[in-house]
């Protein structure tokens, strides 16, 4: 009997180790998707480390010349969206327990938001937690906004309670990969904002206007991989204009969602192997009326959504795997819910380093 139990225990351990290896092989320690097309996104290459604990120190480090590896320590509080213009070759890591926060609830939209990156290049953001004061329809600011920024990798970040949105990409932003990120709302939506919406938990926007084609058309090339739109997310997961967007192995589990993915004017979207758990409307097409009716939509091999390929206009369907330099290996759709719930969010065991080198622990999660 003892021998049988020992054999069973050993076999179980081997299965667990094998499963862990399969899971970790998909939890990349380098960018995948659009961020590595044309040129790789490398950030600072983990050179020149510095630890910051105030907004002023963070801005100075991002604006510094040359490569810089920035470690966020503690709770950095903001009283409005901090603007960083022209940063290049930077990697920002959140140490365990660190937070970028703005708890201010106000009718003054300039007091909302946390960080906006303008005209930035080759930036890596990992293991960051963004917390704002809750959704409020005042045309306010986002937890994180990208404008005219290229080659950006956002990985293992946790976005909570953005006033206007959690993460928006606008104004010709390009070559962006957003991986293993978690989006959620823990604070009830504020009513009575100037915009009129009673529930503005609209989490992610790609492109800002149907009239912005001269600027955005041909840009907004973005990958969402292994991301989780968790409880409280109402709409825009994401909502897309113009971009060529690949949404792969993502999890949708919010119980209050009106719809998940919003497709709009001249979007070209490839939605693959995602898990829509109890979602009434996995996607909604906004490009169906007026003058702005062009769109391309492909939905393939998802849980909770039928396969669809639909277009209006003359553009070819976007297929990311036909692109030179586009590298990404999706997992099976049946594995998505478990894998993403275990792996998404700011859960990396980041350690401060005073030498050049990868800052990840041997096992990269804070939970055993």
- Is residue 11 a part of any domain in this protein? no
Q: What's 283's domain CATH number?
A: 2.160.20.10
56-70, 94-108, 217-231, 350-364, range with the lowest pLDDT = 350-364
Supply the range of the domain harboring residue 63: 31-365
- Is residue 26 a part of any domain in this protein? no
Residue with more model confidence, 29 or 218:
218
- Is residue 50 a part of any domain in this protein? yes
Angstrom distances, CA of residue 229 to CA of 56, 241, 260, 317: 31, 19, 9, 26
pLDDT tens profile 149-202: 999 999 999 999 999 999 999 999 999 999 999 999 999 999 999 999 999 999
Q: What percent of the chain has pLDDT over 70?
A: 88
Position 22 scores a pLDDT of 35
The DSSP letter of residue 291 is T
Q: Which two tokens stand for residue 90?
A: 């930077």
Question: In terms of pTM, does the model score above 0.75?
Answer: yes
- Is residue 12 a part of any domain in this protein? no
Closest CA to 359 of 367, 368, 348: 348
Position 358 scores a pLDDT of 52
Position 2 scores a pLDDT of 32
- Is residue 335 a part of any domain in this protein? yes
6-20, 66-80, 93-107, 255-269, range with the lowest pLDDT = 6-20
- Cα–Cα distance, 358 to 351 (Å, whole number): 9
pLDDT tens profile 226-255: 999 999 999 999 999 999 999 999 999 999
Position 26 scores a pLDDT of 57
- Is residue 5 a part of any domain in this protein? no
Each as own residue / partner, the long-range contacts of residues 53-60 (CB below 8 Å, 24 or more positions apart, any chain) are 55/82, 58/82, 58/92, 59/84
Angstrom distances, CA of residue 137 to CA of 147, 201, 224, 275: 21, 9, 25, 29
Q: Which two tokens stand for residue 292?
A: 């702005």
- Is residue 24 a part of any domain in this protein? no
Position 290 scores a pLDDT of 87
Q: What percent of the chain has pLDDT over 90?
A: 85
Query: Considering its fold, how many domains does the chain have in total?
Result: 1
- Is residue 9 a part of any domain in this protein? no
């Amino acid at each position: 009997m003892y021998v049988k139990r020992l054999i069973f225990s050993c076999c179980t351990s081997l299965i667990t180790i094998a499963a862990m290896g399969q899971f970790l092989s998909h939890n990349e320690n380098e960018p995948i998707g659009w961020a590595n097309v044309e040129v790789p996104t490398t950030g600072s290459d983990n050179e020149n480390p510095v630890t910051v604990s105030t907004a002023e120190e963070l801005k100075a480090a991002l604006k510094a010349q040359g490569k810089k590896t920035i470690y966020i320590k503690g709770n950095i509080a903001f009283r409005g969206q901090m603007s960083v213009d022209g940063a290049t070759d930077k990697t920002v890591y959140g140490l365990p327990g660190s937070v970028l926060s703005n708890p201010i609830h106000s009718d003054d939209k300039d007091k909302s938001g946390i960080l906006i990156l303008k005209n930035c290049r080759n930036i890596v953001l990992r293991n960051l937690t963004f917390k704002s004061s809750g959704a409020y329809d005042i045309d306010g600011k986002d937890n994180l906004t990208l404008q005219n920024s290229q080659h950006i990798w956002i990985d293992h970040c946790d976005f909570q309670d953005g006033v206007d949105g959690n993460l928006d990409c606008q104004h010709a932003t390009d070559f962006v990969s957003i991986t293993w990120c978690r989006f959620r709302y823990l604070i009830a939506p504020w009513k009575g904002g100037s915009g009129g919406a009673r529930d503005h938990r609209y989490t992610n926007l790609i492109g800002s206007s149907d009239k912005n084609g001269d600027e955005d058309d041909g840009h907004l090339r973005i990958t969402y991989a292994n991301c989780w739109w968790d409880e409280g997310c109402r709409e825009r997961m994401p909502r897309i204009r113009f971009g060529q967007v690949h949404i792969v192995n993502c999890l949708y589990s919010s119980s209050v969602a009106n719809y998940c993915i919003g497709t709009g004017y001249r979007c070209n979207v490839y939605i693959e192997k995602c898990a829509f758990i109890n979602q009434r409307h996995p996607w909604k097409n906004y490009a169906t009326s007026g003058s702005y009716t062009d769109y391309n939509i492909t939905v393939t091999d998802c849980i909770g959504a039928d396969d669809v390929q639909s277009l209006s206009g003359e553009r070819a369907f976007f297929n990311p795997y036909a692109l030179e330099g586009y590298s990404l290996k999706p997992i099976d759709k049946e594995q998505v819910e478990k894998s993403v719930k275990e792996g998404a969010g700011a859960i990396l065991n980041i350690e401060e380093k005073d030498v050049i080198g990868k800052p990840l622990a041997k096992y990269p999660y804070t939970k055993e």
